[in-house]
């Protein structure tokens, strides 16, 4: 199985930047892609970005974060990062990373999440 642990959440002022990390362990060879999602109380979980795990990096972003968020990977460290800039109060949420395994149709393994709070 794959395990994921997020880190890097913090309280930042509006306009600031933050980098989140997602450390993968276990059967990482089974990972096809890692995605970042966020959730706030009362709202549905929102997909933000994803990156393929091996080979050439293919990245995907939801339109609302294009140009502000960048997803990258560090295979040597078995980690995926989400660099966030120009943060807005509406970016406040719990951020989760999730893994989609080879052959799977969705992101089936999730981390516990890390809290990001953007103050106005």
Average pLDDT for 31-36? 98
Q: Residue 108 pLDDT more than 90? A: yes
For residues 67 and 55, give the distance between their C-alpha atoms in angstroms, rounded to a whole number.
24
- Distance set, CA 1 to CA 33, 64, 80, 83, 100 (Å): 15, 32, 17, 27, 12
What's the pLDDT tens digit per position in 45-82?
Answer: 999 999 999 988 899 999 999 999 999 999 899 999 99
């Amino acid at each position: 199985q794959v395990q994921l642990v997020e880190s890097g959440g913090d309280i930042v002022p509006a306009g600031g930047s933050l980098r989140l990390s997602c450390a993968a362990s276990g059967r990482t060879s089974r990972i096809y892609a890692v995605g970042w999602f966020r959730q706030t109380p009362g709202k549905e979980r929102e997909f933000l970005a994803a990156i393929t795990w091996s080979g050439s990096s293919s990245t995907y972003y939801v339109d609302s974060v294009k140009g502000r968020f960048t997803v990258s990977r560090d295979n040597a460290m078995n980690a995926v990062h989400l660099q966030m800039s120009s943060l807005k109060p509406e970016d406040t949420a719990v951020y989760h990373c999730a893994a989609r395994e080879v052959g799977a149709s969705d992101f089936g393994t999730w981390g516990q999440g890390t809290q990001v709070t953007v103050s106005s």
